[in-house]
Structure 1
Amino acid sequence: MSDRLIRATAAENSIRAVGVISTRLTEEARQRHQLSYVATAALGRAMASGLLLASNMKKEGSRVNIHVKGNGPLGTILADAGVDGTVRGYVQHPKVELPPNSRGKLDVGGAVGHQGYLYVVRDVGYGYPYSSTVELVSGEIGEDVANYLVNSEQTPSALLVGVFVGASGVTAAGGLLLQVLPKAARDDSLVSLLESRVSQLSGFTPLLREGKTLQEIMEQLLGDLGLSILPEVQMVRFNCGCSFNRVLGALKMLGEAELQDMIEKDEGAEAICQFCGEVYQANEAELAQLITDLRAEST
C-alpha cells in the first residue's frame, strides 16, 4: 500500500481523527541515513508524528518541525513535515543499537532517553513561527508528542505511532491521531472513552501487518460514534528541498578567506545534507566564482 494520509470526524464533529501510513518514506530514510533498527523506529515515529501534526494546518507552505533531544545515545532527532505531505529528518547518531526492552520490542525510549525535551515549531506560513517546549515523558515519541498537544495546545489527544523494521527493512510504519476538539474538550466521558479504546489496541503497526487499512482501523475505533471519513486521500513522501544552488549559497556565507583556503588545501569542497544524506561537490572553479561574486558585491 502506498504512503498516504486520511482525515475523519466523529461524535458530531467533536472528534478529529487523522491516520497516516509512512512505510515507504521511513524505509527511504533508513536507507539514506543507514539507520540502525532502533534509530529507524525513532525517526519513523517522529516523521509520522510530524505529518499528523501538519495535517490540520491550512496555509500552503506551512510546516511542523519536531526536535527531540533526550539523554539517550541517539542524541538529537529532527523531523520536518509539511502540509503538502512531504517530510524529512535525521538522527544525530544513526548507528546506535540497543538490546530489546523488557517487552521484547525495540527500546526507543532507552535510545532517545527518558529525560530531555521535545521542541515543536509550527510555521503557519506567515508571521513568526510558533514554538513550544515540553519535557519528555517517556522518550517513546508518541507519548511525548501527545503530552505536547495536551499541555501546549490544550487539546486532549491520543497518538499512536509505530515502525516495524526487520532484516529486509521497514515493512510497516505510520500513526493515528485522535483529538477531542475544543467545543467538546470539557466532556470528560468522551476523553475517557477515546483513551480507553486506544489503550486496548496492541499498537498501530500490528494492525497494519494484519492487513488492515486506515479506514478499517478508524472504523474499529470510532465506527459507533458517527464516523465520517473525508473523501480526500493525501499522498505523503520523503522529500528534501536541498539543492546544489543552496549549497553554494551556504558556502558563500563562509567568506572569501575560507573559500580560498578550501581551494588551496582541498581543491574543492564537499557538503552533505543532514536531512537526506545527499552529497554535493563544488570544484575549484565554482569556489573561485563565489569569491568573484563576493568581491563584486563588496564594491
Structure 2
Amino acid sequence: MADQLIRATAADGGIRAVGVITTRLTEEARQRHALSYVATAALGRTMSSGLLLASSMKREGSRVNIRVNGNGPLGGILVDARLDGTVRGYVDNPAIELPPNSLGKLDVGGAVGQEGYLYVIRDVGYGYPYSSTVELVSGEIGDDITNYLVTSEQTPSALVVGVFVGEKGVQASGGILIQVMPKAASEPTLVEILEARVDKLSGFTPLLQAGKTLPDIFEQLLGDMGLVILPEVQMVHFHCGCSLDRVLGALKLLGQAEIQDMIEKDDGAEATCHFCGEVYNASSNQLAQLIEELQA
C-alpha cells in the first residue's frame, strides 16, 4: 500500500482520527542514513508522529519540528514534518544497535533513553512558532508524543506508531492518532472507551502486515461511533529541500578567509545534509565566485 494519510471523525465531530502509512518513506530514510534496525524504528516512529501532528494544521506552509534528546546511545532525533505531507529527519548515531527488549521487540526506549526531553515546535506559517518541552516518559516515542499532547495541548489523545524492519528492510510503518475534541472531552466515558479500544490493539504494524487498510483500522476502532471517513487521501513522502545553491549560500556565511583556505587546502569543499544524507561538492571555481560576490 502506498504511503498515505487519511482523516476521519466520529461521535458527531467529537472525535478526530488520523492514520498514516509511512513504509516507503521510512525505508528511504533507512537507506539514506544507513540506519540500524533500532535506529530505523526510532526515526520511523518519530516521522509518523510528525506527520500526524502536522495534519491538524490549517495554513499552507505549516510545519512541525520534533526533537528528542534522551540519555540513550542513539543520541538525538530530529524530524521536520509539513502539512503538505513531506517529512525528513535523522538520528545522531545511526549505526547503534541493541538486543531486543523483554517483549522481544526492537528496544527503541533503550536506544533513546528514558530520561531526557521532547521538544515540539509548531510553525503555523505566520508569526512566532509555538514551542513546547516535556520530559520523556519512556523513550518509545508514541508514549512521549501522547504525553506531550495531553500535557502541553491538553487534548485527550491516543497515539499508536510502529515500524517493522526485516532482513530486506522496512516492511511496515505508520501510526494512528485519535483525539477527543473539547466539546466531547467532558464526557469521561468516551475517553475511557477509546483508551480501552486502543489498548486492545496488537500494535499498528501487525495490522498492516495482516492486510488491514487505514479505513479498516478506523472501522475497528470507531465503526460503532458514527464514523465518517473523509474522502481526501493525502500522499506522504520523504523530501528534503536541500540543494547546491543552499550549500553555497551557507558557505558564503563563513567569510572570505575561510573560503580561501578551502580553495588552497582542499581545492573545493564537500558538505553533507544531515536530514537526507545528500553529499554536495563545491569546486574551487564556485568558491572563487563566492569570494568575488563577497568582495562586491
Which TM-score band (shorter chain)?
Answer: over 0.9
Aligned to 2:234: 234
CA distance in 2, matches of 1:28, 1:95: 16
Q: What SS does the aligned partner of 2:30 have?
A: helix
CA distance in 2, matches of 1:167, 1:188: 44
Q: What SS does the aligned partner of 2:186 have?
A: coil
5 Å-filtered alignment, 1:114-263, equals 114-263=114-263
Q: What SS does the aligned partner of 1:164 have?
A: strand
**1:74 paired to 2:35:** no
Query: CA offsets per residue over residues 246-292 of structure 1, 9 Å max, x none?
Result: 00000000111100110011110000000000000001000011011
Aligned to 2:275: 275
Moved over 6 A (4+): none
CA distance in 2, matches of 1:201, 1:153: 25
CA distance in 2, matches of 1:223, 1:212: 14
Q: What SS does the aligned partner of 1:225 have?
A: coil
Q: What SS does the aligned partner of 1:122 have?
A: strand
Shift of 1:184: 1.1
**Percent of aligned pairs with the same residue?**
76
* TM-score calculated relative to the size of structure 2: 1.00
* TM-score calculated relative to the size of structure 1: 0.99
Q: Which ranges of structure 2 fall in alignment gaps of 5 or more residues?
A: none
Aligned to 2:34: 34
Aligned to 1:19: 19
CA distance in 1, matches of 2:80, 2:191: 29
Q: What SS does the aligned partner of 1:211 have?
A: coil
User: What value does the CA root-mean-square deviation take over the aligned residues?
Assistant: 0.4
CA distance in 2, matches of 1:237, 1:45: 14
Shift of 1:186: 1.7
Q: What SS does the aligned partner of 1:165 have?
A: strand
Shift of 1:185: 1.2
CA distance in 1, matches of 2:122, 2:291: 36
Aligned to 2:55: 55
